[in-house]
Amino acid sequence: MSTLIDSKEGAALPEFATPSGENRPATLSGQLGMLEIVFTVLAYNAPLTVFTGMGVMLTLGNGLGAPVTYLIAGALILIFSVGFTAMSKHVPNAGAFYAYITAGIGRPLGLGSALMAMLAYGFMMTGVYLYAGIVYASLVKHLFNAEPLLWWGYSLILLAAVGVFGYLRITFSARVLTLALICEVLIVFVWQIAVAAAKGAAVVSPSWLTPSAVTSGSVGLALLFGVTCFAGFEATAVFREEARDPEVTVPRATYCAILVMAILFSSASYFLICAFGPQTVLERAAADPSQISLNAIGLYLGKAGLEAVNALLCSSVFACLLALHNILSRYIYCLGLDGTFPRTLATVHERHGSPHRASVVVTGLMLLILIGVIKSGFEPFGAFAILTGVGGYCLLLLLILTSLSVLVFFVRDMKGQNLWRTRVAPIVSFFLLSFVGWLATKNMEVLTGNVQVAQALISVVFGTLLIGVLYARYLKRARPEIYRAIGRQVI
């Protein structure tokens, strides 16, 4: 069995150490294909939701340069994914950030990053539940001119539905996500075709997309918004154990997901500008950034198209919640499998092949958190902006740590990989992502909408990272067999 050097201890250890005298539960397995994983990742990124929020990029970002910004952000994430996918074959488990950071820069920080990642996904999931309640309440009121439930009633119904899907086999969830995402992507492209047909070649030509347009406004904020739109692509590694041929499927799914998102976001923002014209779109976005995309849909697809988008927006947030639920439950499963969480949480359902106990835990925790938020009286949309903003910020920090981890991992042993994959790409992605992280820290108020609350939540997140590091140090002294298994489970 190959060995790794734990960067914190400097000793050669088994790559996937098993606690002595303990039997591991059955691990996950499955037959997820590339497209199923890609659609799961796209569901997490909720492309229709990104499209309906593009008014923010136009007003706070670099305006007419948005299409180029999305392509640049996609290129940055692609550079990161070079080292990410190169390392994936050497860390064959469902831990993603947790496993990568552990293998590269040590068990204490690896365990701390796992807890921080879980908290970040939890923040985002809670925020999306609040947003989903608003979206579903709005759709029901629009369709039936009635309000049978308050917004939080729909959030709780969605929680129950997501809990059921999360309990079942992942391939079942993947089919649901695939159907929802195909409809989302199709309607965005149908709208783009409608704009091109109505405006003609002369109007949709890129004559307005000049270098001065790309560098206008706040390029830094634009790049920040662009990169956060791609957060979640790392979920391709989370489903590694359930992939049909992980060494082939995971890299292909990663690159495919990033390319699809880059093309979709860039083309959608381009046609949004063409739909109104360069000058008019900036004026309308400044007047009401939250409605400009929906107005463009209604203008070119009519009332039927607008109602279809409203309905698909509901399926989009449901798909996003289901993807987040599946990711979070697999983090809990990994920690249970390694022994840092109770091993019962790593139990795999005999029939469904899912981490069903971890899934139930996620559902239970979300129920308690939602009840707390409802009773607290927080305004749901404002809380959504803060929670998802902080979650996205934390995932960005984890990308930075992972870039560093990939570099350190291959510095010790290139494992037959070339210089581009093991040195150049990780170094470039580390410095570029660090720059974006600095921008995020500097513009926290813009990212979250409330800098004081955001700073308090980020303190909780970094506190969680510290707790994970201290817990790992405790395990090193008190339970060394579990400490050795952190992030390196036998599969």
Please write the tens of the pLDDT for every residue from 193-241: 999 999 888 778 888 889 998 888 888 888 888 888 887 777 776 667 6
Q: How far apart are CA 68 and CA 362, in angstroms?
A: 38
pLDDT bracket for residue 400 (50, 70, 90): very high
In this predicted structure, what is the pLDDT of residue 1? 34
In this predicted structure, what is the pLDDT of residue 93? 64
Sequence-distant (≥ 6) Cβ neighbours of residue 288 within 8 angstroms: 55
Q: How far apart are CA 428 and CA 479, in angstroms?
A: 38
Q: 377: buried, middle or exposed (CB in 10 Å: 19+, 13-18, 0-12)?
A: exposed
Say yes or no to pLDDT of 12 above 60: no
In this predicted structure, what is the pLDDT of residue 173? 66
What CA–CA distances, in Å, run from 26 to 1, 41, 334, 342, 358? 21, 25, 12, 15, 14
Whether 61 contacts 225, CB under 8 Å: yes
Say yes or no to pLDDT of 287 above 70: yes
In this predicted structure, what is the pLDDT of residue 92? 66
pLDDT bracket for residue 490 (50, 70, 90): very low
In this predicted structure, what is the pLDDT of residue 116? 92
Q: How far apart are CA 338 and CA 91, in angstroms?
A: 14
Which of the pair, 143 or 302, is modelled with greater confidence? 302
- With a pLDDT cut of 90, the percent of the chain lying above it is 35
Q: What is the mean pLDDT of residues 430-458?
A: 83
pLDDT averaged over every residue in the chain? 84
Please write the tens of the pLDDT for every residue from 387-399: 888 888 888 889 9
Which of the pair, 353 or 157, is modelled with greater confidence? 157
Say yes or no to pLDDT of 468 above 60: yes
Kindly report the three-state secondary structure assignment for every residue of the chain.
CCEEECCCCCCEEECCCCCCCCCCCCCCCCCECHHHHHHHHHHHHCHHHHHHCHHHHHHHCCHHHHHHHHHHHHHHHHHHHHHHHHHHCCCCCCCCHHHHHHHHHCHHHHHHHHHHHHHHHHHHHHHHHHHHHHHHHHHHHHHHCCCCCCHHHHHHHHHHHHHHHHHCCHHHHHHHHHHHHHHHHHHHHHHHHHHHHHHCCCCCCHHHCCHHHHCCCCHHHHHHHHHHCCCCCCHHHHCHHHECCHHHHHHHHHHHHHHHHHHHHHHHHHHHHHHHCHHHHHHHHHHCCCCHHHHHHHHHHHHHHHHHHHHHHHHHHHHHHHHHHHHHHHHHHHHHHHCCCCHHHHCCCCCCCCCHHHHHHHHHHHHHHHHHHHHHCCCHHHHHHHHHHHHHHHHHHHHHHHHHHHHHHHHHCCCCCCHHHHHHHHHHHHHHHHHHHHHHHHCHHHHHCCHHHHHHHHHHHHHHHHHHHHHHHHHHHHCHHHHHHCCCCCC
In this predicted structure, what is the pLDDT of residue 170? 66
Burial letters 10-31, b for 16+ CB under 10 A, else e: eeeeeebbbbeeeebeebbebe
In this predicted structure, what is the pLDDT of residue 18? 44
Closest residue by Cα to residue 249 from 238, 265, 264: 238
Whether 405 contacts 427, CB under 8 Å: no
CATH of domain 30-474: 1.20.1740.10
Please write the tens of the pLDDT for every residue from 15-55: 444 444 445 555 655 567 777 778 777 777 778 888 888 88
Whether 133 contacts 386, CB under 8 Å: no
In this predicted structure, what is the pLDDT of residue 257? 87
Structure tokens belonging to residue 6: 């734990």
Burial letters 302-311, b for 16+ CB under 10 A, else e: eeebbbbbbe
Q: What is the mean pLDDT of residues 309-326?
A: 87
In this predicted structure, what is the pLDDT of residue 76? 93
pLDDT bracket for residue 252 (50, 70, 90): confident
Residue type, 303: K
Say yes or no to pLDDT of 102 above 60: yes
Q: What is the mean pLDDT of residues 359-364?
A: 95
What are the residue boundaries of the structural domains of the chain, listed by start? 30-474
In this predicted structure, what is the pLDDT of residue 133? 92
Say yes or no to pLDDT of 460 above 80: yes
In this predicted structure, what is the pLDDT of residue 449? 74
In this predicted structure, what is the pLDDT of residue 5? 35
Which of the pair, 267 or 323, is modelled with greater confidence? 267
In this predicted structure, what is the pLDDT of residue 95? 58
In this predicted structure, what is the pLDDT of residue 17? 42
- With a pLDDT cut of 70, the percent of the chain lying above it is 89
Please tell me the least confidently modeled range out of 243-257, 292-306, 395-409, 470-484: 243-257
> Phi and psi for 3 in degrees, rounded to 5?
-120, 155
